Structure 1
Amino acid sequence: MSTISSLTLSGKLRRDAGVVGLLLASTTSIIGSGWLFGAYHAAKIAGPLSIGSWVLGAVIIMLIALCFAELAALFPRSGALVHMSHASHGEGLGRIWCWLLFLAYVPVPAVETEAIVTYANNYLPYFIRPGSEGLLTTTGFVACAALLGIMALLNLMVVRWLLNVNSTITWWKILVPVLTIIGLMMASTHWSVMSAAPDTYKLSGMFTALPAAGIVFSYLGFRTAIDLGGETANPHRNIPLAVIGAVLIAAAIYIMLQVAFIWALSPADLAHGWANLSFKGEMGPFAGLAASLGLGWMATLLYIDAYISPGGTGLMYVTGGSRILFAAGEMDAGPQWLIKLNRNKVPWLSVLVMWVVGAIFLLPFPAWQQMVNYITSITVLTYGLGPIALLVLRRNLPELKRPFRMTGASVIAPLAFICSNLVIYWTGLKTNSFLFSMVAIGFVLYAIYYHFVMRKPAAAFGWKNISWLLPWFGGIWLLSWLGGIGGGRGVIGFGWDILLVSIWSVIVMALAMRCALGANETSAMMERMDRTS
């Protein structure tokens, strides 16, 4: 018996998560720091068009979520996103995708702790450097690292207990935004600001706000139900319901929060235009507005929620990220100790890695909005594989029983892939240059380790199956360089850039389908994964 099999069989993950637990796990992962800051940053970028940004963000994420809802029902195991890549393009892509997923998960708890200390800095001014747009002090860094440690400790509980704690947190996280919407809309007397300062924002801002204001970031948590797929007794029904339901709940809340935020502004707040939107308490935007409207009770409630909402999201991302690491060990894409379980059947060493590396991520991105851009870009990059994997499995295994079958996959999957690439493009050249540089460095180091340290044959690396990644990543970076967002050259104007990214996405998708595994190889990989479930 192999090391993988013996370790896996020695202790299975507990299947304690029900449909409500999964729904609330995804919902609490979505409703985190994004609702506390997203409306403010979106309004600065897109003015009243920011309402459209949240609607567009919901549509984009729903397209992606529908693809993953079908896939997740086919891979009812923890860390399912890792297994999907193995089934579509083999072990080479699976290993690469595994670590890209880890890099997408690990900074999220860190950014949630930054949101907590940013709000706390309004009354304990020790965490943020004055006049630095949110950069952490040394005290702020230590506080964030400690909060990450608490999230890690809570993740060592039995998953049923963890989800019970999360369910309680989630009801609070839904109630407070709803009360905020009602309170601000009832107290506001400045609804005319919807048409204020029309020359200080552009239509293009509605699109660039998607990554820059944290809108897409705010919706990304739907995948938590997928990550816990191996810990629910009825994954085929529970996962699709949880994924789709969480996106719908969050979309309704986020859109109305943006409406309420804009209505609560006064003309004086916009004296210098939307881009220079400023008011007392803007480091805690909703609490600041509530205080200015005389809603002291709401301001207090929001400061309390500034601990609970980001904390709950960070907690669930530590859970999801540790399951990605668990799957990495399970599929031999990472060290075998990653699948070592504690007495509660929790991969405790994977949880420890999430804590340590998460703290390190506080260093290169010591401000909420800076880290959000990176997280949005790399996470949507990892989501881009979902629509491709869906079409590969539809082609290779047409007779496979699908507990949830998405209607119109031939249209929805390409649209989801195009939208993923557009969001990456809209993050701008600066963020994408960092992202693709990090991916390139990591890939080169892994290739060297694989060929020269492990001395494995080139044929086993899967070069043929991953060759489409270079034109994908390289093409998006080139379009970012030619575009006018985040330091681009400005050669491509607004509208044309959307067209070119869409065309390139279709070309890349065709390449990806040509490089995918054949039907027999996909069947063999699915059988291998069944043996580890």
Structure 2
Amino acid sequence: MDMSAANRKGLSLFALIMIGIGSVLGSGWLFGAGTAAQVAGPAALAAWVIGAVFIGMIAMSYAEVGAAYPIPGGMARYGALSHGPVLGFITGWAVWIAVASLIPIESIAATQYMSSWSFGWARDLVDARSHQLTASGMVVALGLTFLLWLSCYWSVQLLAKINAALTLVKFAIPVPAVAALIASGFHTENFTAHGGFAPNGWTAVLTAVTTSGVVFAACALYWSKWPNTGIVTALTLPAAPVAALVLSRKGVKDLGRQFAPAWWIVFFLAALSLLSHLGSTDFGGRGVLPGGADIALVAAMALVTYFWAVRAGVRAHHAGLPGPDPVLDGSESPDDGSTAPERELTHV
């Protein structure tokens, strides 16, 4: 994608707002709501409130940091600015996995939507029994993924125009649909008709917060149940040895100094996976840790890790690992208007 400074500045405020709204309103408005209701029943409403609290805190944090450091690729680079290149590499790795999987996920969701059309070919896109994509459905999803990739490759402005049109459609369909459903009949007895407000217990509400697309925050990772916590750890932690390999290839000798500010995230993910595996059966664990005690341990570990991360960031800056500040030192915006080069993995 053409992400030159001139191209980025060519995006209007309306296009940027549509990109933000379009990234929020996705397939989850139906799939997330439906899955959360299946997991938690009517108590899924509480899951959405809990999710809103988590997302609100995350959004305010990103808004504060984003305003202070309005740099491209911020989500992947804030870790490097706070704790040095190794943590930046790990967080960038995690962001890359999330972004790389987003387009295929949305393509699959769009194909599942298409299976509800009355056309014969559309009905064959999803298997009625397994609810998985058929061979023809995989072909359609792959084609949609390729088209979305092309829109990104050709021009960021073309992507912005397509996104603006799709975002308007996202408003034009869900809002009248929700209004029509409420107007046709709002039956409050449905909140307690099938086993009560929380038929699957309140642990199901916490699970719905993470596994149903309501929110996926680090502090709520434990609620997503084992083996999901282990999968997240297995996808993220390989970035650490890869970073060590890259640093070694660059001739860096003091790997301990480079990795010191990043050990807290390695400990957090590994310990959280272990607690999830040994935790209560309500969250998919083996039941070694009784219910309640596992949540207390997770909360205590999160608090300890938080203070560890803060101290590690301070020490990283004292050691000069983050390198030049792109805002305070002006390294991000050279006087000639060109884009500053990306920082190397190591700063020595």
Give yes or no for TM over 0.5.
yes
Could you say which residue in structure 1 is the equivalent of 2:180?
183
Residue 464 (structure 1) shift: 1.2
**Inter-CA distance 32–80: structure 2 relative to 1 (3 Å threshold):** same
CA–CA separation in structure 2 for the residues paired with 1:477 and 1:103: 19
Contact 1:27 1:170 in 2 (8 A): yes
Residue 460 (structure 1) shift: 8.3
Please identify which structure carries the higher helix content.
1
Contact 1:433 1:477 in 2 (8 A): yes
Residue 17 (structure 1) shift: 2.7
Moved more, 63-72 or 203-212: 203-212
**Inter-CA distance 204–520: structure 2 relative to 1 (3 Å threshold):** same
Could you say which residue in structure 1 is the equivalent of 2:24?
30
CA–CA separation in structure 2 for the residues paired with 1:80 and 1:21: 19
**Inter-CA distance 488–74: structure 2 relative to 1 (3 Å threshold):** same
Question: Could you tell me which of 463, 466, 490 is aligned with 2:262?
Answer: 466
Identity %, equivalent residues? 26
**Inter-CA distance 167–53: structure 2 relative to 1 (3 Å threshold):** same
Residue 89 (structure 1) shift: 0.6
Contact 1:21 1:164 in 2 (8 A): yes
The 5-angstrom pairing of residues 337-486 of structure 1 reads 376=216, 380=217, 420-421=218-219, 423-451=220-248, 453-459=249-255, 462-483=258-279, 484-485=281-282
**TM-score of the superposed pair, with normalisation by structure 1:** 0.56
One-letter identity of the residue aligned with 1:513: V
The 5-angstrom pairing of residues 241-280 of structure 1 reads none
**TM-score of the superposed pair, with normalisation by structure 2:** 0.83
Could you say which residue in structure 1 is the equivalent of 2:343?
none
CA RMSD of aligned residues (A): 2.6
- Is 2:46 the partner of 1:48? no
SS in 1 for 2:238: helix
One-letter identity of the residue aligned with 1:468: W
**Inter-CA distance 44–470: structure 2 relative to 1 (3 Å threshold):** same
One-letter identity of the residue aligned with 1:92: V
Could you say which residue in structure 2 is the equivalent of 1:66?
60
Give unpaired runs (5+ residues) of structure 1. Answer: 1-7, 217-375, 381-419
Contact 2:80 2:88 in 1 (8 A): yes
Question: Could you tell me which of 99, 110, 120 is aligned with 1:116?
Answer: 110
Residues 24-71 of structure 1 show CA distances to partners (whole Å, capped at 9, x for unaligned) of 211111111101212211111111111111111111101111001010
SS in 1 for 2:125: coil
CA–CA separation in structure 1 for the residues paired with 2:310 and 2:333: 24
Could you say which residue in structure 2 is the equivalent of 1:106?
100
Question: Could you tell me which of 125, 128, 150 is aligned with 2:126?
Answer: 128
CA–CA separation in structure 1 for the residues paired with 2:85 and 2:6: 23
One-letter identity of the residue aligned with 1:499: A
CA–CA separation in structure 1 for the residues paired with 2:283 and 2:144: 32
Question: Aligned pair count?
Answer: 322
The 5-angstrom pairing of residues 125-204 of structure 1 reads 125-132=123-130, 134-188=131-185, 190-198=187-195, 200-204=199-203
- Is 2:79 the partner of 1:80? no
Contact 1:90 1:462 in 2 (8 A): yes
- Is 2:210 the partner of 1:211? yes
